[in-house]
Amino acid sequence: MTIQKDKVVTMHYHLTNSDDGQVLDSSRGSDPLTYLHGTGSIIPGLERELAGLDVGATKTVEVAAAEAYGEYDDNMVQTLPREEFAGIDNLEVGMRLQAQDQDGNTFTVHIAQIEGDEVMIDGNHPLAGMPLTFEIEIVAIRDATAEELQHGHAHGEGEHHHH
């Protein structure tokens, strides 16, 4: 069985920054990642490169920033006065917060910098603008269940069903 739309794929991955080789994430030594292929639940550049692989396949995939978490957007960075964060104790760099735009849509930002009474927030994904290298090993491939297709994502073993 090969990886194609509506297959549930289980894989190990080792993710590094293509520019400097820094390890960003890895499933080595822990549980592999399981996802439903063709639903956009993993980054587009990686999903495209996995199509057609079989169980046991290993592959090194380079994904440009635009095909991963997008290019870095300076417009997503904003400096606000500290009083905008009243009620949040112990503000610190790297902290992730929920924010709302003018239309009431919720999104995640992280605190990029704190200088005196000014707090710089960044709405870019932490890996935005970064070319990524994935070392992949395909562990299992199976047909998705009707419920998984309906929900648009893979269900892990023992996962509670949701309605």
Q: Is the pTM value of this prediction over 0.85?
A: no
Structure token pair of residue 47: 């999903």
Tell whether the model's pLDDT for residue 162 goes beyond 50.
no
pLDDT in tens, 129-153: 999 999 999 999 999 999 999 999 9
Q: Where are the domains of the chain?
A: 7-69+127-151, 74-122
- On average, the pLDDT of the chain sits at 92
Apex 145 CA angle, 139 and 149, nearest 5: 100
Average pLDDT over every residue of 33-57? 96
* Of 101, 105, 11, residue with least CA distance to 58: 11
Average pLDDT over every residue of 66-83? 94
What is the fold, at CATH topology level, of the domain defined by 7-69+127-151? Chitinase A; domain 3 (3.10.50)
Average pLDDT over every residue of 70-96? 92
3-class DSSP assignment, residue 152 = coil
Torsion-angle region of residue 94: left (phi > 0), alpha (psi -120 to 50) or beta? left
Domain 74-122: which CATH class? mainly beta
3-class DSSP assignment, residue 37 = coil
